[in-house]
Amino acid sequence: MIQLEKGSQKLLNAWAFYDWANSVYSLVIASAIFPIFYGALFRMAEVEKVTVFGVELARAPLISYTTSLAFVFIAVITPLISGVADYLGNKRVFMKFFCYLGGLSCIGLYWFSLEHIYFSLLCYFFGLVGFWVSFAINNSYLPDIAFPEQQDRISAKGFSLGYVGSVILLLLNLAMVMKPDIFGITNDEAGKAEIKAMKYSFVSVGVWWILFSQYTFYFLPKGNKKESPKKNIILNGFKELRLVWNQLSDNQKLKRYLGAFFVYSMAVQTVMLIATYFGEEEIAWGSDSERTMGLIVSILVIQVVAIAGALLTARLAKTFGNIKTLIVVNVLWALICVYAYYLITPMDFYIAAGLVGVVMGGIQALSRSTYSKFLPETTDTASFFSFYDVAEKIGIIIGTFLYGFVAQITGSMRNAVLFLFLFFLMGIVLLFRVPNKT
């Protein structure tokens, strides 16, 4: 391991490169191939519901509730990890563990089936856990490796690298799914070579994630070590969260920003997690092959546009300020939710995908860097970013659960998407209350 100085370009690049490594999960598993694969399994089995723990659930609520449960686990485990990492001074080893957990779980999705639904959902569950916990630890490194004036740019660069890397792998996976014979992929037992190709895509994500993360792990520092007695370290993370909460009363700007972030992030992350499931079920694609191609093309549109969107948002923030820019981006998100309610044709979905791409990367990168810039002077970055991530995860729990619940009781995912409009509206109002200097 090489110890690099804070602010050095090599260190900044190594940190940003983790987005290149792990964003393939976010795109291929969470957004593109897996939702199509998941829907295809139900159509091939000619069922709409499965029984899990004695409860009969439709496919959309099932995956939504599983996602909510995963984020409950993430919200609990993140402060535990933060406490141990803080007191042992080794964030990197925990980041490695969850990176490998996520990567191996992606490989495990190769065996996903309705017949083995518990094992299948477990792999999906731990893929989410590995991605989000390792991502949270990587986020906590930002104020450690970059000075305030560098943080907007390097945060946007990380997301842009993630989009580029994930698009490259998705293009390869798309070729595998649409032309499996070129890759020597033959029909599986169900006579679907494209389904088998999707399974290979899951394996490719796990291998890519683990392999490319090594560059980041080689240069990242271990982390800041606290000079405190090493006792009750398991609960120290929760104690640190309480201390962070107490400090918020003295930092009105940070407190108000976190309130706004909690609300609008709830909607953003829910949209990102369910968008492909929505498109797979609600859009009139025609044939199965048209559905597969259309959904993957839509995701590619989002990713390509998001590269420019993240960089454009960073520039707008530099000119107009972070909070004003976030308000505008939230307004666009709210309008997209209203538009999504009326989507019917594939072209409607493509247009929505382009609009989502403009605002998706920008709001993520800018939210992360804005929080980092609002932090008080401290070496205890892990606890503050743990608080940030726990707030985000609790929002996702609420968002995905409500989405699944509204979809279940109304029988329509459209009503659930329109419901998210209210969260963006609340986020806009709360952002107006944040002092505008960044």
Residues 6 or more apart whose Cβ sits within 8 Å of residue 312: 358, 362
Q: What is the pLDDT of residue 431?
A: 93
By the 10 Å C-beta count (0-12 exposed, 13-18 middle, 19+ buried), 87 is classed as: buried
Half-sphere exposure for 435 (CA within 13 Å, toward CB) = 8
The pair of structure tokens assigned to 339 is: 């538009």
190 or 134, higher pLDDT:
134
- For residue 14, the SS3 value is helix
Q: Is 286 left (phi over 0), alpha (psi -120 to 50) or beta?
A: left
Say if residue 21's pLDDT is above 70.
yes
Task: Provide the 10 A C-beta neighbour count for residue 173.
Answer: 23
Q: Where are the domains of the chain?
A: 9-431
pLDDT tens-digit series, residues 368-412: 778 878 877 665 566 677 777 778 888 888 888 888 888 778 877
Cα–Cα distances in Å, from 35 out to 27, 203, 302, 356? 11, 16, 16, 18
CATH annotation of 9-431: 1.20.1250.20
Of 225, 220, 217, 218, nearest in space to 96 by CA: 217
Alpha carbon distance 372, 367 (integer Å): 9
Residue pair 208/24 in contact by the 8 Å Cβ criterion = yes
Work out the average pLDDT over 192-202.
89
Q: What is the pLDDT of residue 199?
A: 92
Q: What is the pLDDT of residue 232?
A: 61
Of 405, 326, 341, nearest in space to 371 by CA: 326
20 or 151, higher pLDDT:
20
Residue pair 387/281 in contact by the 8 Å Cβ criterion = no
Residues 6 or more apart whose Cβ sits within 8 Å of residue 374: 251, 253, 254, 257, 438
pLDDT tens-digit series, residues 301-341: 887 787 788 788 888 888 888 889 999 999 999 999 999 88
